[in-house]
Every structure is written in C-alpha cells, then in structure tokens.
Amino acid sequence: MSNSSKTNDSKVSKKDKFSDTYKDTAGAGSVLSTVSGPSTNQPPKTLGSDDPVKQRLLDKTLGGQELAEKISSNLNKPHEYGEASRTPLTGAIVEPTSPAAGSSTSSEIIASPKTGEGILFPGSNPTVDSLDRVRVDSSNQPLTTNQGVRIADNQHSLKIGLRGPTALEDFILREKITHFDHERIPERVVHARGSAAHGYFESYRALTEFTTAAPFSAEGKRTPVFTRFSTVAGERGSADTVRDVRGFAVKFYTDQGNWDLVGNNIPVFFIQDAMKFPDLVHSVKPEPHHAMPQASSAHDTFWDFVSLMPESTHMLLWQMSDRAIPRSYRTMQGFGVHTFRLVNAEGQSVFCKFHWTPLAGTHSLVWDEAAKIIGADPDFHRRDLWEAIEAGAFPEYELGLQIFTEDTANTFPFDVLDPTKLVPEELVPITPVGKMVLNRNTDNFFAETEQVAFCTAHVVPGIDFSNDPLLQGRIHSYVDTQISRLGGANFHEIPINSPVAQVHNNQRDGMHRQAINRGRVNYEPNSLAGGCPFQAGMSGYKSYPEPIAEDKVRGNPELFSDHYSQARLFWQSQSPAEQIHIINAFRFELTRVQTPAIRARVLSLLVNVNELLAGSVADGLGIELPPAMPLASNLPIPTYPPSPALSLLTRPGTTGIATRRVALLISNGIDQKCVSTLYEDLLKDGAVPRLVGTRLGKVTTADGAALDIEITLEAGPSVLYDGVIIVQGDGSLQHNADALDFVRQQYRHCKPIYSIGGGILLAVAGVPSTFADGTPDPAVIVDQEKIQDASLTQFKNALAGHRSFEREKDPCPV
Ligand code: HEM
C-alpha cells in the first residue's frame, strides 16, 4: 500500500507526505474504540469514510467532549452548605451543539419498524402522557402469540398423533398456559375491593394566595384524575355493601406531577399512630385460625382490639352509623382525614383539611337492605358507578377546604395532628374550591383499577405534610407495599400510574423497566450530558422548613388523650333516626361477638360518650351497663355544640331523582297508558325505571297490547330499587309471595311506594299508609284509579328525599 519504501525518506518525511490526511484522521482509532485516546483535544475531522454512522459517532464523541470542557467544575457546590442551602440553585447546564452529544449509540439513526425513525424529540419521555399510546384494539386482527406470531389453531395442543401425548415443543400452548398461570397478582393488603373511574378536577378559582399546587393555579383549570373507591377489610371478591369504611382515593395527574389525595368517606380514623396500623388491620381482617368472617368487623378480635384502644371510640361511632353503608359511591363524602399543609410561592404555609361533597347528596342504605344486597348483587356499588357513567350521569363531587393557621390551630381544644379528631365546620367553615367530575369508565379493570397505585407520598409543590404520626407512617407504607403488589420498583411506569408531567431522573433498571433512557449518563452532577437532567432548584419541590427543637421520643401529645368528646359531638349531631341506626349497629356487631367481657368493655367506652346510647346497646345485649372506662387523663374535657353538618340528612344533594332506580311492578291487565306515561316521565327526569314482573316475556294490558317485562322479582328483588310504583292489574300479584315480599321490603327499607289502581297489594302485604299515630306517610301514596299529577309529584319528591325514616319502628311490624 505505502510507496514510502520506494524512497529513502525518513519516518518524518513519510509522515509529511501523508500529513494532510493524517491530520484529518489522527485519533480516529480512539473514537472508533471505547477505551482511552490521545492526550490532546485536537479531534479528527473524519473517521476515514463518509459513512453516516461513523459521522454520527464522531459528532457524538466531539459533542460529549465539548460538553465536558464547558463544565469545568460543579458551580453549585458552594450553595449546598449552611443558609445558602435553603434556596437550592437550579442545576448548571450546557446546551449541546449537536443532538448526537447525548446519545447512547451512533447507530440510533438506523431506522426500522421497531426502533423507529431515530427522530429525536429532545427532552421528551413518551412513556408518560396519555393512555392512548397503550390502548389495544384487536378488530380485524388475527390471533397471535406474545411474540406476534400468528396462531393457526387456537383449539388444539400439538400432539404426537391424534390420540397421542402433547409435544413439549408446543410453545403456543405453553405460552398461553404460562401466562394464564400468572394472571393473578397479590391483592391490596387493605382496600382490596374497589372500583374506579377517570375524570377531571376543575378549579373554581386560583388559590395562589395559599398554594402553588398545580390544580389550583388558575380559575377554570382542569386536571385529569383517576378516582378509586373501596372497602377496607374485605378481600378482592367480597361484597360491596358490607358495613365498613370506604376508601376515596383521587390521583390528580397535574402538570407538576402526580398528587394523590388518599382519603376515606369518614373524616377521622381509629388510631393515632402508624405503629398501631398492622394491629388494627390484623384485628379486623378474618380471624387467623379459621379465616372468618369475611369483610366484617362483627367479630371478637376487632372489638377486643378497639375496646382496648379508646382513641378509636370516635371512629367507631362513625363506623356504626349509616356512613358505613352508603347507598352509592356517588352519594358519600370523602375526607383527606389528616391535617395537611398548603404552601404558597413565598414559602408561607397554612394548615388544610380536604373535603369532597357529592352533588347527588349523602345517602345510605339501611342495614337490613345492605345485608340483603350482599346476596342480591354483591357488585352493587361497582355496578352503580359503572352504570351511572355509562348513562352519562357523571358523578360530581365538590372539593372544599378548611384552611387555618398554626396559631388558630393552637386555640382549638384538640390537637390538629390527632387523626381521631375532626375540625368542626363551626370552628373553620369549608370553602368550596373546585369540582371533580367522573366521566369515563375504564377500558380494562385490571390494567387500570387493579394496577393503580395511590400513595400519600405523592405530593406536588404547594402541598405538604403535617406531623400527624399516622400520616407520617402512611408516607412510607404505600410505595413499600406496592413494590411487592406490583412486582418491583418500576410500577410508576405502568400506564395508569405514570404522570402526564415529564419524568427525567437517573433511576435505572429493576424489574419490568419500560423507559429506554438514551445516553451514557445516569448520575448527577455530570458534564458528559451537559449537566442534564439538572436539579430544578427553587422551581422544584421544597419541603416546608418547619422549625423543630424537640427531644427524640416515643409518645403522644397530652391532648391526644381526650377520646370521647368528639364521639359525643358526633352522637349529638345525629338525627333521631340516625341515632337508632347507630344503636342497632352496635347491638348487631356486639351480639355476634362471643366473649362477654369484650361486649362489656365496649359498653364501658360508650358510657363515656352517652348514657342513652350505652344503655340502649346494653339493653339489646341483655346485660347491665358497666361503669365507665377510666379516662386516660385528667385534662379538662371540651364540650362542643352539635354540628348539623355531621348528619347525613342535612345534605340531600341537588340532582333530584336522577339515577334513582324505580321498579314498576306490573302484571296482566294493567293500563298500558298508565305504565308508559310513568316510564317516560321517570326517564325524562333521569331516573331509571324497570318493568318488573313474575317472569320474563310479555304481559297483556287491559286493552290487549303487550308489554315486555324487563326483570323478574327474583332476579331484581326489592333491595335493588330506590322506589316502587305498583300498577294494579289482574290482581295476581297479591297472591304471589315474591311480590308481597317486594312491597314489604320497600316499606321496611323506608322507600317511597306509589300504588295506582287502588292499594290492594299493599293491604294484603300489610303495608300501612299512615304512621302509628294515624298521620299519613307521605311516602306511601295510593291513587284509586288513574295517575294524579299531585301524587306523582309527591312520589318523586319522596324519591329525591331518599328515605322516609319516620316510618321506622323497632321491631318493624311489616
Ligand atoms: C398508618 C396508617 C395506614 C397505613 C400504614 C396504610 C396502609 C395502606 C396500604 C398498605 C394500602 C394498600 C395500598 C396498595 O396496595 O396499593 C392502603 C390502601 C388505602 N389506604 Fe391506607 N393506610 C393507613 C391509613 C389510612 C388512612 C388513615 C386512610 C384514609 C385517610 C387510608 C386510606 C387508604 C385508601 C383509600 C386506600 C386504597 C387506595 C386504592 O384505592 O388503591 N389509609 N393503605
């Protein structure tokens, strides 16, 4: 190759002869290698040919060197110490002159259907963003394996002869069975049973005077949300209408990252310190020796534990109230429970309590009904939420804040860090700040509802924690449990969990990693990636610098020792009907308890709340009232005036009869016009009428027409409706036990009943149309012949009012 051998030139003269070319390529071999290189910064101009990959490799190398040169030291270091560290600097960065500088490989420009065109969107992480990127639609597609290979026969295994054994090589069968074998993941350790929907939160106004949190940055701003409602104790397949606290967890996908408000439908909790959470949950879950009962607190271990933990008394009152048997996820309040902090752009902080109020009102079931629904439709709440959204009747909840300063908090007769206490609305009113609308059901329950991972640690700038010791423990618990529930450290990349805000950091690897991070840099500070991704400084999340000068101790503040005054506040704020329900719930639960000493211990707690309550429960248990449980301290006991807002009945809602389910009980001989008029009228108001009869098929109307029954008394029993209209036909229903049971239960569960064509079915069923004192029951309406407008209006008013509790008697005569 070389012609130098033909001359007598020295080595120098040989070099001179090729000097131009050499200058252009000197060091190219090092660029083409991955180890070492020349000591000079004189880069080669070419790697020997104009191959585009080689050119890109050169650009990449030169670009990287240029970035490293420009960052000669870590300029932020002096600001990391002392007072200066309170205001962290934004990371120093350098813009690359070529996009190749930050690449992993010069071959990224080689396009394929899999790698893509190599087109770069600088600074972009597309594993976040909308769910569209992962929605799968199989229309007009053949079946394939998980490797994309088309499956010719999805009916048979590969066998050695038609009657022979299956071949081990049948990778199609093995893939299918293997995937099936691993379909289940661990259920949530608590809140395993739940249902969820997508929607949005819209801010009524900017709250920038209090917080920088993204959802509240401007009037009318919409933030996407995913909201999951749940029960706590039951397993994933347990029934919806059990007596239990309901979870109310909202994930806000804000433009500053995800914020999860992981609350319950009850504003207080059983315990004051995270240390006790495993004990609480162990006690309420099925007893470990025989795994009973399912999804119920009515057993010895629960009442044993809580009666030794008097701080749970306030929560127990709520749990025994109708709050724990909601009519629907759409008709229950939600609470953040803990005191949180809001922080504004100036770094000033106020305390805050979060409240969700359903526009459909707060409505509950009655216990006998809830228990029967467990058999009639264990999916009652899941179905209700799904059906409402499918019908376009989008559930709405107003978000309200109780905002108060630390100084104000210090004037309260309780400690705002104690999660067994609420802040009465009379002390701090609730300010409505926005509205959540749930307007889209999931595509896939598992991918979305089951895999969603809420976490109290998910906060955005402007939201911070208080020192509530229960909240502090929760901050740890959620991610920890989700690592095992969702199989590793990368569950934040599961599409339902990924934020819409960009994610850029140096976390790498782990099970099921989705993001393919470009570049060689996975640490900070760096110069080789121009300092990126860089620390955000004051535009990033800053914890509120709360001053603390305290001893390191285990213990509670003294004010935590008042266990009864807010339980009493709750009791005194309930309507008479609600108080009776609480008494009955205690009776039911404690009757199922088998250990008399535990029953007595619970009663001794209740004596501290209210003598009538304790006495009535004791009466139902057939035992003498024990002495009050000794108080935990001698601190003065605060008194509170009743708080009407704590009664469910003070929030009827604004949506009228929309989504209420009405049974039209019909048989042969009914007046067709009457039925169709009612049906259309209810539909017009947004209610859901169903024609209910003894069997599917047609009934013949008085004028010989035919109407289709939609559901039978058996498949759609009374407990599944909010009201009934009986249209008198040939009289056959009054000889039918199912129909008689139907109207009796409607009556017993305090639901509105409207009978047209006389009240014979009611009379045979023994359903009275007056209260015991002879005054008419406004929710039992009888028209002798045709529909009277006034009667229909009266029925609809009663339906909108939900229940007629004045009717209740103990024992119920019907
Ligand atoms: C120290 C006390 C608590 C601990 C350690 C704790 C722990 C947990 C755990 C491990 C889960 C399952 C999470 C998952 O697998 O994704 C969970 C779920 C949940 N917790 Fe807590 N919890 C505590 C207190 C509370 C309180 C006070 C509330 C209400 C304010 C609450 C509301 C919820 C909700 C709503 C869920 C279900 C989230 C979902 O829908 O997926 N928890 N909790």
Percent of the residues in the chain that have a pLDDT greater than 90, as a whole number: 92
Is 697 in contact with 716 (CB distance < 8 Å)? no
Where does the pLDDT of residue 772 fall: very low under 50, low under 70, confident under 90, or very high at 90 and above?
Answer: confident
Among 474, 480, 481, 482, say which to mutate for ligand 1: greatest number of ligand atoms within 8 Å of CB: 474
Topology at the third CATH level for domain 560-649? Hemocyanin, N-terminal domain (1.20.1370)
State mean pLDDT over 50-73. 94
Average pLDDT, the chain: 95
523-543 pLDDT tens trace: 999 999 999 999 999 999 999
Catalytic residues: 191, 264
Tell me what pLDDT residue 773 has.
86
Residues with CB under 6 A from ligand 1: 188-191, 194, 228, 230, 247, 249, 262-264, 269, 274, 277, 337, 452-454, 470, 473-474, 477-478, 481-482, 485
Q: Which CATH architecture has domain 194-507+534-539?
A: Beta Barrel (2.40)
Number of C-beta neighbours around residue 625 at 10 A = 17
Question: What is the radius of gyration, based on Cα positions, of the chain?
Answer: 34
Percent of the residues in the chain that have a pLDDT greater than 70, as a whole number: 97
Q: 495 CA distance to ligand 1 centroid (A)?
A: 21
28-42 pLDDT tens trace: 999 999 999 888 768
Helix, strand or coil, per DSSP, at residue 795: helix
Point out the least confidently predicted range of 287-301, 447-461, 764-778. Answer: 764-778
Is 693 in contact with 631 (CB distance < 8 Å)? no
Q: 247 CA distance to ligand 1 centroid (A)?
A: 8
Among 272, 454, 480, 484, say which to mutate for ligand 1: greatest number of ligand atoms within 8 Å of CB: 454
Q: Whose CA is nearest to atom 35 of ligand 1?
A: 247
Instruction: Decide if pLDDT at 14 tops 70.
Output: no
Instruction: Decide if pLDDT at 9 tops 60.
Output: no
Instruction: Decide if pLDDT at 1 tops 50.
Output: no
State mean pLDDT over 96-120. 90
Instruction: Decide if pLDDT at 238 tops 60.
Output: yes
Tell me what pLDDT residue 19 has.
63
Number of C-beta neighbours around residue 443 at 10 A = 13
Tell me what pLDDT residue 39 has.
86
Distance CA(335)–CA(249), nearest Å, equals 9
- Please choose, from the candidates 813, 720, 714, the residue with its C-alpha nearest in 3D space to the C-alpha of residue 767: 813
State mean pLDDT over 66-84. 92
Those residues with Cβ within 8 angstroms of residue 675's Cβ, 6 or more apart along the chain or in another chain: 664, 666, 691, 701, 707, 727
Tell me what pLDDT residue 117 has.
87
Q: Whose CA is nearest to atom 37 of ligand 1?
A: 191
Instruction: Decide if pLDDT at 16 tops 60.
Output: no
Instruction: List, by residue range, all CATH 3.40.50.880 domains of the chain.
Output: 657-807
DSSP letter string, 724-769: EEEE--SSGGGG-HHHHHHHHHHHHTT--EEEES-SHHHHHHT--S
Tell me what pLDDT residue 40 has.
76
Where does the pLDDT of residue 17 fall: very low under 50, low under 70, confident under 90, or very high at 90 and above?
Answer: low
Return the ligand 1 atom nearest residue 476 CA: 5
Instruction: Decide if pLDDT at 262 tops 90.
Output: yes
Topology at the third CATH level for domain 657-807? Rossmann fold (3.40.50)
178-211 pLDDT tens trace: 999 999 999 999 999 999 999 999 999 999 999 9
State mean pLDDT over 349-376. 98
Instruction: List, by residue range, all CATH 1.20.1370.20 domains of the chain.
Output: 560-649
Tell me what pLDDT residue 164 has.
97
Those residues with Cβ within 8 angstroms of residue 345's Cβ, 6 or more apart along the chain or in another chain: 208, 212
Strand locations in 317-430, DSSP E?
334-335, 340-343, 349-358, 396-404
Q: Whose CA is nearest to atom 15 of ligand 1?
A: 188
Angle at 78 between CA 76 and CA 84, to 5 degrees: 95
Tell how strand 340-343 and strand 334-335 pair up. unpaired
Where does the pLDDT of residue 11 fall: very low under 50, low under 70, confident under 90, or very high at 90 and above?
Answer: very low
577-592 pLDDT tens trace: 999 999 999 999 999 9
Tell me what pLDDT residue 245 has.
98
425-437 pLDDT tens trace: 999 999 999 999 9
615-652 pLDDT tens trace: 999 999 999 999 999 999 999 999 999 999 999 999 99
Instruction: Decide if pLDDT at 763 tops 50.
Output: yes
Distance CA(800)–CA(814), nearest Å, equals 24
- Please choose, from the candidates 541, 219, 544, the residue with its C-alpha nearest in 3D space to the C-alpha of residue 351: 544
Q: b vs e for 370-394, b when ≥16 Cβ sit within 10 Å of the residue's Cβ?
A: bbbbbebbbebbbebbbebbeeebb
Please tell me what DSSP assigns to residue 330: G
Residue 441 tokens read as 């059901």
State mean pLDDT over 366-388. 98
Among 195, 478, 497, say which to mutate for ligand 1: greatest number of ligand atoms within 8 Å of CB: 478
Is 127 in contact with 498 (CB distance < 8 Å)? yes
Tell me what pLDDT residue 18 has.
53
- Please state the pTM of the whole predicted model: 0.95
Where does the pLDDT of residue 121 fall: very low under 50, low under 70, confident under 90, or very high at 90 and above?
Answer: confident
Q: 556 CA distance to ligand 1 centroid (A)?
A: 22
Length of the chain: 814
Tell me what pLDDT residue 481 has.
98
Tell me what pLDDT residue 116 has.
87
Return the ligand 1 atom nearest residue 470 CA: 1
Place of tokens 């059990």: 242
- 3-state SS of 194-223 is EEEEEEEEEECCCCCCCCCCHHHCCCCCEE
Tell me what pLDDT residue 813 has.
82
Tell me what pLDDT residue 718 has.
98
Residue 751 tokens read as 């639901």
Instruction: List, by residue range, all CATH 2.40.180.10 domains of the chain.
Output: 194-507+534-539
Q: 276 CA distance to ligand 1 centroid (A)?
A: 13
Distance CA(122)–CA(134), nearest Å, equals 22
758: left (phi over 0), alpha (psi -120 to 50) or beta: left
Q: Whose CA is nearest to atom 11 of ligand 1?
A: 190
